[in-house]
Amino acid sequence: MKILLIEDEARLVSIIQRDLTAEGHELSIALDGTTGLQMALKADFQLIILDIMLPGINGIEVCRQLRQANTQSAILMLTALGTTENIVVGLDSGADDYMVKPFSLAELNARIRTLARRNGSNAPAPNLLQVADLVINTDERSVTRAGKTIDLTATEYRLLEFLVKNRNHMLSRIEILENVWNIDFNMGTNVVDVYINYLRKKVDKDYEPKLIHTVVGMGYILK
């Protein structure tokens, strides 16, 4: 998830950065409201974590301006201001959720997951690889051809993904061994040929055009 953190407390920034990065999020940081507003308007963030008491423009005003600019990012306010009035003002300014400091990282991550589900329309498009009617969703590690799901083993999937990423490029057996099996020399094994045969039965046998081709004496090419 692409997240912008607008927070001026250096220690808290460090803690949140370490946690969210470990969770697999892509995090950008602004240490004041003015910079944060500019960053939020220029880039497409799925979530903005926003403190209220900021140098420059305060968080309430940042939130208002973002909503006036029709920013679709989810906004989570993190602040020490925890009265009912503060919470109402924050939510009325356009925030989607409000957390009061101090807070646990477990709760922060749970709130982020909830906002991600709620704002599913802002989720990043899936990472797709496509050749003809063969489609690989690398996020889900799923494969379809002509709209039909193709079930692959983990090794078959790695091999197919490598071929597709290098489509129209002839790959030697050694290149395939190095990248799919992490074997950096030819042990005289025919494992590549065996798995190419497995893939052909699943990906090519019942479909046209055929995608996996043998380059005699050299290797394989997907095109």
> Same domain for 83 and 159?
no
The domain boundary, picked from 122, 144, 176, lies at 122
CA dihedral 62, 68, 70, 76 (to 10 degrees): 30
Task: Give the model's pLDDT for residue 103.
Answer: 87
Domain count, the chain: 2
188: left (phi over 0), alpha (psi -120 to 50) or beta: left
pLDDT tens for residues 156-174? 999 999 999 899 999 999 9
Q: Using H for helix, E for strand and C for coil, what is the string for the chain? A: CEEEEECCCHHHHHHHHHHHHHCCCEEEEECCHHHHHHHHHHCCCCEEEECCCCCCCCHHHHHHHHHHCCCCCEEEEEECCCCHHHHHHHHHCCCCEEEECCCCHHHHHHHHHHHHHHCHHHCCCCCEEEECCEEEECCCCEEEECCEECCCCHHHHHHHHHHHHCCCCCEEHHHHHHHHHCCCCCCCCCHHHHHHHHHHHHHHCCCCCCCEEEECCCEEEEC
Asked if 11 and 71 sit in the same domain, the reply is yes
Domain assignment of residue 195, given as a range: 128-222
Residues 104 and 132 in one domain: no
Answer whether residue 91 shows pLDDT above 70: yes
Does residue 209 share a domain with residue 108?
A: no
Q: Are residues 139 and 216 in the same domain?
A: yes
21 and 84 inside one domain: yes
Checking if the pLDDT of 184 tops 70, the result is no
Give me the CATH number covering residue 69: 3.40.50.2300
Residue at a domain's end among 105, 122, 139:
122
pLDDT at 143: 95
CATH number for 136:
1.10.10.10
Q: Report the pLDDT averaged over residues 214-220.
A: 95
Is 123 a residue whose pLDDT tops 60?
no
Indicate if the pLDDT at residue 58 is higher than 60.
yes
Distance CA 37, CA 153 (A): 46
Last residue of a domain, one of 90, 122, 154: 122
Specify the pTM. Answer: 0.55
